[in-house]
Homo-oligomer: A and B are copies of this chain.
């Protein structure tokens, strides 16, 4: 089974069409979950796969399933990723993996028709709802419900900043249903969102484990006051307290990173109230996360973060309230899956290496319930969640080849057996 030029051109043409939905001036996309642009992309994808004779279904939280039946009644191997994006995000993050899954399935159907072979499994391509978590929190929402980590009712009642619920948003774009399906194994391909593959001159990354990540929502409480008239001693400035924590988080990353272990800290959301030019802030809502390759280092950095919070409460005369937290322990991916992926890459002659993922992916959820393989293709300069995100055509096509070969192995029963 080899790839034809027509198959390659078909993938690239579809990728270009897909990138026109929610396109931004800076060559990126803005397709936040269940917005009109997300709905348009989902409907375009539905049209694409239905045109190839596949069936599309939705579950209760808007996960989109494309059913590719080789053997009536056989169980399913899933290939998934997500079509939603960050605001001003790149056109590769997530969308590449969903389209790659569809093309892998098309190629396999052609190959089985031409070359014969009796698969043990069918394929389902899953476009997970709201992987990005920007409009509705938390991220990886659809796969969290699918894997039993979040109740569907809670997700459907979650509101965006305008008070719109997930249920209302999904209904407004018409991509919700009551489908359900068990899957036997899971396969995902994604851009790396780091630069290790590029730095090492590799085409393929085999993800061996996730980083541990602790994410915290804080509310800093101060007291609204006049910026000009209120003496420093009388202030309880929520913005000062929140800013001090942003600075402290960076200091902790620097302090705890060693030659052996990296610590990454971030603050991605930071909202000031009432945010008026001459008013001392009464409240800041912010998210802080701490990640590390090593659980012991992560625990130490995390403890330091909370010690610094206490210091800042004193120094800035503010109060920190801890809201929701999300703790992901560092976890290994399926070892047999890793070996199988390496064998595929060897066979195709693709230079590959193992990597760890710092970013969360739907596979992070799926690997806890079924054998899961996660693949990376290079991402230029490691740029991600940015309109300038870029993966070359050659790297995208190599990824589709590998995904196809691995999907063939999986439906033939090389990783799991019915």
Chain A residues in the interface with B (C-beta under 8 A): 86-88, 132-134, 137-139, 192-195, 211, 213, 223-232, 234, 237, 239-240, 242-244, 246-247, 250, 253-254, 257, 262, 264-272, 274-282, 287, 289, 291, 316, 357-360, 381-387
Contacts and interface: CB of A to CB of B under 8 A. Distances in A.
Contact of A239 (B246, B316, B357): B246
A84 to B, nearest CB: 12
A267 B279 contact: no
A386 B277 contact: no
Contacts of A193: 226, 228-230
Nearest to A193: B229
A252 B314 CA distance: 18
Interface of A (DSSP majority class): loop
Contact of A139 (B213, B257, B277, B359): B277
Given A243-B247, A247-B247, A270-B272, A359 B279 contact: no
A270 B273 CA distance: 9
A250 B237 CA distance: 10
A264 B240 CA distance: 14
A330 B22 CA distance: 52
B227 A268 contact: yes
A265 B237 CA distance: 11
A275 B272 CA distance: 11
Given A225-B386, A240-B247, 9 more contacts: A87-B279, A138-B277, A193-B228, A225-B384, A227-B264, A232-B265, A239-B246, A240-B267, A282-B386
A193 B267 CA distance: 34
Contact of A278 (B139, B229, B239, B243): B139
Nearest to A215: B277
Contact of A385 (B132, B237, B265, B279): B279
Contact of A234 (B195, B272, B277, B316): B195
Q: Which of A239, A240, A243, A359 has the most CB of B within 10 A?
A: A243
B277 A383 contact: no
Given A243-B247, A277-B139, A226 B359 contact: yes
A275 B271 contact: yes
A98 to B, nearest CB: 18
A46 B282 CA distance: 34
A246 B253 contact: no
